[in-house]
Structure 1
Amino acid sequence: MDRLLTPDERAHHRRMLTLVLDRWQDQAHTWESGALLPEEVVTWTAEQGLLGAPLPAQVGGGGWNAIEAGLLYEALGRVSISLASLVNVHGMMAQTLARWGTPWQRENVMPALGAGKRVAAICMTEPHAGSDLSEITTTLAERGDDLVLNGTKVYITFGQRADDLLVFARRAGRSEACLVSRDAPGVTVTPMGDMLGLRAAGLARIDFEDCVIAPEALVGKPDFAVPVLVPTALEHGRHAVAWMALGMLEACFDECARFVRTRRTFGRPLLEHGQIQTLVTRMGADLEAARHLCVAASRAMQDKAPETMRSVLLAKYFVCRVAQEHTASAVQLLASSGVSERSVTARAYRDSKVLNIIEGTEQILERTLAPMLVGTAGAAR
């Protein structure tokens, strides 16, 4: 990784690794039984300025650039995808509000989000609407002088903990979004347990029944939510998930490297067996490619380059796909120690499947990437 970064970026990366790993590496395996990060961890994340770090400084955030934010997500991903997801979903909501919110929202809502005093989540998915958000049935309807929100959202990451929610709905056939406080009348939060991965990410079902929405809580213009707000949130989320998956894969490779250097089987070091060499080489080569794609995506975002969307999609697509493949290989290689819940590989094996679904499944990303890649083929001739 170091040779892809400037000296300042390398120093930032080392600070992030020291900050996150020294504090939490030995405790992360204990979090998942509670289905939600301990409040101590959420408070620490806010106090360290990590929740607001990627947000613009003018709205109270840390003003970190995309590389700095990516390196944070990589460090968090080495320890816990649930912890990284706390920062990610907060950023998805807050970045969207920072870009498209009203002056009132920037003045009255953003400061607490930037400082990490309030935790944010984003409510898109419904029981019958996931990848295709045109199918959402949550409604905003006029009732007298009021706007009233009704509907159900599911699999809301940190829905059990978030203070402020950005909710996507339909109003007279148009997509709209609004801010809702979790303690508003008519909001019911129900924990969703027994998850394959992200077991400490506080997933929740959130029901909205006749929630009165003030006019100043509307975000963006009419019919703005799905075509404009969603892509803003997803670009942030896909960039973050790619780096999170990279950190997870780095941790798995480190664990595998320690194991094959010290373990002996059939009279030889494990690393001298051809099958093991194949597993390790493929994992290491894909890890190197993943680093390049993540850095390229961040550089494109920082430069506001025309290829930003393509670069972010490629990073998310490739890194999450190879993470799923190689975390399975890591469990196989580590054998009995790889299936222990104390092992980073066991958690990574479960979390990798979830990362390959959230913020766009492999198949959804292929629908966009395939025409992009074919369209640029032969362009250099």
Structure 2
Amino acid sequence: MDFQLSDEQRLYRDTLRTFVDREIVPVAREWEHSGRYPTEIVDGMKQLGLFGLAVPEEYGGLDADTVSFALTFEEISRGWMGIAGILGSHSVTCWMLAKHGTQEQKDAYLPQLATGERRTGIALTEPGAGTDLQGIRTTARRDGDDYVVDGTKMWITNARHADPLPVLVKTDPHATPAHKGMSILLVPADSPGFEVTQDIGKLGYKGTESCEVVLTGVRVPSSQLLGGVEGRGLQQALSSLETGRINIAARSVGIAQRAYDEALSYARDREAFGQAIGDFQAVQLRLAEIAVKLQAARLMTYWAASRMDDGVRMDTESGMAKIFASEAALECATDAMRIHGGYGYSTEFEVERLYRDAPLMSIGEGTNDVLRGVVAKALLSGKATIK
């Protein structure tokens, strides 16, 4: 049992940390509040090869191990969680395409996705279907060699930059159970009838867009059916979300780490009643609590990531890590704000952004309450054990 990063992983983390401290931390607060798109940061991530995280080496990607994958999202989120969103949806789809795509689809898209020349996201959620993906209403009707797609998708990250955009559809709306009639189509961004209609306003998670996408009579060649077989869409999407939960857990660790850094620094520098506030036991207790939750969340996230690297099914492990880390992030952000007192509520300090970003972690990639049900069912059925 080894709880240490390898030399290669440490070097990778240090490279990421330098990039984040130099390119993201100095501008995050200003750009987040102004709504400026982080073009220069995206270009930096391209130069580091980060858009190829989940792309096999044969297509020019990094093919990173899952612990290094987690390190990436942890470090970037420490600087600005919204930036991690740009990379997250892209990486989930790259993994899905590499695992489930036809050879032609892999050859056509993965090399450019690896460099960031192409970017992508994933369109699952709809106005009336979030957690209940089998309840989607977007349909794809076969017409000769094409599918004709009609529907609306919501909360789509990278919607204005994704090409192609994988869209979960119902190719057989009458199938029972519903998932047998669901497929994923790789929709080219220049398809007539494909429109990004609005950017959705958000409490946090700034830096990347979250959009409504409307598809009206969009004709998509049948060659764009992911994997070339109908009825596999929900399975393909859910398998990719295992990596997505590692992504969210790691982002949560990054938020918690920044909350700890900011709280520790403030406790040392801020004085009250003639001494640093870190000398008061009440502040010390909160600092200790943040540190404990942070390190526990990090170890659980790395554990789940290492299980995936071992090649075992790890939906239970990734779900547990996501639940724990996301709730730890919110608690750490809240405690960091309390340590800052009134300044924690000011937009001049970093902790107010952490406080706004953290709640999304308990919602994204499956709400925590739903994931608790998934974990419990796995335990009750004997598919997962805790020893």
- Specify if TM > 0.5: yes
Count of aligned pairs: 378
| Cα distance in 2 between the residues matched to 1:98 and 1:294 | 23
| Cα distance in 2 between the residues matched to 1:33 and 1:108 | 38
Three-state SS of the structure 2 residue aligned to 1:123 is coil
| Cα distance in 2 between the residues matched to 1:148 and 1:282 | 54
Pairwise mapping of residues 195-210 of structure 1 onto structure 2 (< 5 A)? 195-210=202-217
CA-to-partner distance for each residue in 1:291-335, whole Å, 9 max, x for gaps? 1101101111111134x2222111111000111122111112112
The residue type paired with residue 336 of structure 2 is: A
| Cα distance in 2 between the residues matched to 1:44 and 1:25 | 14
Shift in CA distance, 47/9, structure 1 to aligned 2, threshold 3 Å: closer
CA-to-partner distance for each residue in 1:2-26, whole Å, 9 max, x for gaps? 9632233222211110122212210
CA-to-partner distance for each residue in 1:24-76, whole Å, 9 max, x for gaps? 21001122245463322222222221111232212321121111111111110
| Cα distance in 2 between the residues matched to 1:267 and 1:376 | 58
The residue type paired with residue 64 of structure 1 is: A
Runs of 4+ in 1 over 6 A off after TM superposition: 376-381
| Cα distance in 1 between the residues matched to 2:196 and 2:129 | 19
The residue type paired with residue 370 of structure 1 is: A
Give the aligned partner of residue 271 of structure 1: 278
Shift in CA distance, 137/326, structure 1 to aligned 2, threshold 3 Å: same
Pairwise mapping of residues 175-254 of structure 1 onto structure 2 (< 5 A)? 175-220=182-227, 221-226=229-234, 228-254=235-261
Shift in CA distance, 234/27, structure 1 to aligned 2, threshold 3 Å: same
CA-to-partner distance for each residue in 1:77-99, whole Å, 9 max, x for gaps? 11111111111100011110110
Contact 1:77/1:247, CA 8 A, preserved across alignment: yes
Greater displacement, 142-151 / 77-86: 142-151
Three-state SS of the structure 2 residue aligned to 1:281 is helix
Contact 2:145/2:222, CA 8 A, preserved across alignment: no
Three-state SS of the structure 2 residue aligned to 1:177 is strand
1:322 maps onto 2:311 in alignment: no
Give the aligned partner of residue 312 of structure 1: 318
Three-state SS of the structure 2 residue aligned to 1:10 is helix
1:280 maps onto 2:264 in alignment: no
Aligned with 1:302 (options 304, 309, 312):
309
Aligned with 2:373 (options 362, 367, 373):
367
Pairwise mapping of residues 347-358 of structure 1 onto structure 2 (< 5 A)? 347-358=353-364
Task: Indicate the percent of aligned positions where both proteins have the same amino acid.
Answer: 28
| Cα distance in 1 between the residues matched to 2:371 and 2:382 | 17
Pairwise mapping of residues 1-381 of structure 1 onto structure 2 (< 5 A)? 4-33=4-33, 35=35, 37-173=37-173, 174-220=181-227, 221-226=229-234, 228-306=235-313, 308-373=314-379
Give the aligned partner of residue 176 of structure 2: none
| Cα distance in 1 between the residues matched to 2:348 and 2:237 | 36
Contact 1:93/1:233, CA 8 A, preserved across alignment: yes
- Residue ranges of structure 1 left out of the alignment (5+ in a row): none
Shift in CA distance, 222/232, structure 1 to aligned 2, threshold 3 Å: same
Contact 1:324/1:352, CA 8 A, preserved across alignment: yes
| Cα distance in 2 between the residues matched to 1:356 and 1:36 | 26
Contact 1:187/1:211, CA 8 A, preserved across alignment: yes
Contact 1:21/1:75, CA 8 A, preserved across alignment: no
The residue type paired with residue 213 of structure 1 is: V
The residue type paired with residue 369 of structure 2 is: Q
- Residue ranges of structure 2 left out of the alignment (5+ in a row): 174-180
Shift in CA distance, 167/258, structure 1 to aligned 2, threshold 3 Å: same
Shift in CA distance, 197/67, structure 1 to aligned 2, threshold 3 Å: same
Shift in CA distance, 331/379, structure 1 to aligned 2, threshold 3 Å: closer
Q: CA deviation at 1:145?
A: 4.6
| Cα distance in 2 between the residues matched to 1:342 and 1:77 | 19
The residue type paired with residue 147 of structure 1 is: Y
Q: CA deviation at 1:215?
A: 1.2
Greater displacement, 255-264 / 100-109: 255-264
Shift in CA distance, 60/377, structure 1 to aligned 2, threshold 3 Å: closer
